[in-house]
Amino acid sequence: MKPSAALLEVVACAILIVVSFVGNTCLLYSTRKCATGRLQTSFLLIFSLLSVHLLKNLVVNVMKIVYSSGFTLDSAGCKVLHFTAALTTSLAIWFMLHFALLYHRKLYLVVYPLREAPNLHQQMHSLKVVSALWGAGVAVYIPVLIYARKPEYVHAGNETDPLSHARIYMDCLMGFGSKQVGFYYGKIFLVLIDVLPLAVLVFVCLWMFFLLSERKKMTYGDIWIGDDDSEVETLRGAKFSILLMLLITPLWISHFILVYFLNDLARHAFIPAVLTALSSGFSALSPFLLMLVNYKMKLVSFCGARVEKPTPQPANVILSPYA
């Protein structure tokens, strides 16, 4: 006997919830020391990503389990489901782009050092950007909560209908009352705010790949000098950005294609589980990738490079003027 579509989706959601909760909790625990002092920008972005990942799994996937178990979502439930799912997806892309831009700038300064002094207000600037991204995300999707309406006619969901396997995706279709608003806002604007940052993210990561290749060729008077903690942090952060770009971009594109052709694919029982895996796969896997890339780094990439204290000199020792 083949498992039902509802059972497959419940199992997929449960696995993703557990994996994401464990991964994000372990990552938060491993970065807890950063909160004792001055917060680094990388930690601030990682903490924002953790919040987005947990929000997606503890709200969206839990609601999917409830719906797949036989409960019907009303119009308010569909609004919360669509709002949270879209908001967390967009914020994950935006934060990843900000993270990549941060390490692209650091890597560029490593490969092509500048003579002017570094910007001392970079930390406060990043805090403002992260706060602005949270505010912009909520503002962009507020119309979903205000104007979207669940269609009066919903799919009955009997097993003889091929669309019954994708009930939560067919029954929770959101309408805006106006075809123009639904087309320009729901199908164009909401897609562009994900596609454009993804395109920029790919471009930035390709540029970082070029900079990393240039970094390997760097010598100092034909002598190679080992990396300090700050350069190790930069190199690890750049590689991590490229790795996550290679994860989030195919997942988003695959999910978008399947949703676009959902009417043709809804007859397959595994489609809801696949859509759930694609939409939540990044939130489940990225914490483990981050911990893997930064293995044995002693939190260098999370908390920034440590400043070594100078060794105290004995009082009776006269230092050479050439020391």
Listed residue (175, 14, 194) closest to 79, CA to CA = 175
b vs e for 244-262, b when ≥16 Cβ sit within 10 Å of the residue's Cβ? bbebbbebbebbeebeeeb
| pLDDT winner (highest mean) among 153-157, 170-174, 248-252 | 248-252
Q: Domain segments of the chain: what residues?
A: 5-113+124-217+225-303
Predicted local confidence at residue 193, as pLDDT? 94
Band (252; pLDDT cuts 50, 70, 90):
very high
For 117: left if phi > 0, alpha if psi spans -120 to 50, otherwise beta; the answer is beta
- Average per-residue pLDDT for the chain: 77
Say how far apart CA 149 and CA 74 lie, in whole Å. 10
The residue with tokens 């372990």 is 26
105 or 162, which is more confident?
105
DSSP characters for 78-98? Answer: HHHHHHHHHHHHHHHHHHHHH
Predicted local confidence at residue 37, as pLDDT? 47
Say how far apart CA 97 and CA 67 lie, in whole Å. 33
**SS3 for 175?**
strand
Band (253; pLDDT cuts 50, 70, 90):
very high
pTM attached to this predicted model: 0.81
Given a contact cutoff of 8 angstroms between Cβ atoms, the answer to whether 294 and 236 are in contact is: yes
218-249: per-residue pLDDT in tens? 655 444 444 566 777 788 888 888 999 999 99
Say how far apart CA 4 and CA 105 lie, in whole Å. 49
The tokens for 74 are 């009303």
Q: How many CA atoms lie within 13 A of 80 on its CB side?
A: 13
For CA atoms 5, 11, 17, 23, the dihedral sign is negative
Q: What Å distances lie between residue 194 and 24, 100, 286, 296, CA to CA?
A: 23, 16, 18, 34
CA dihedral 171, 252, 248, 31 (to 10 degrees): -30
pLDDT above 50 for 323: no
CATH number corresponding to 5-113+124-217+225-303 = 1.20.1070.10
CB atoms within 10 A of CB 39: 16
41-92: per-residue pLDDT in tens? 667 788 888 899 999 998 999 988 888 777 777 778 888 888 999 999 999 9
Q: Picking from 22-36, 74-88, 124-138, 281-295, which range would have the lowest pLDDT averaged per residue?
A: 22-36
Predicted local confidence at residue 109, as pLDDT? 87
Predicted local confidence at residue 293, as pLDDT? 59
Q: What Å distances lie between residue 141 and 62, 64, 78, 250, 257, CA to CA?
A: 20, 20, 14, 23, 21
179-196: per-residue pLDDT in tens? 888 888 888 998 999 999
**SS3 for 269?**
coil
pLDDT above 50 for 311: no
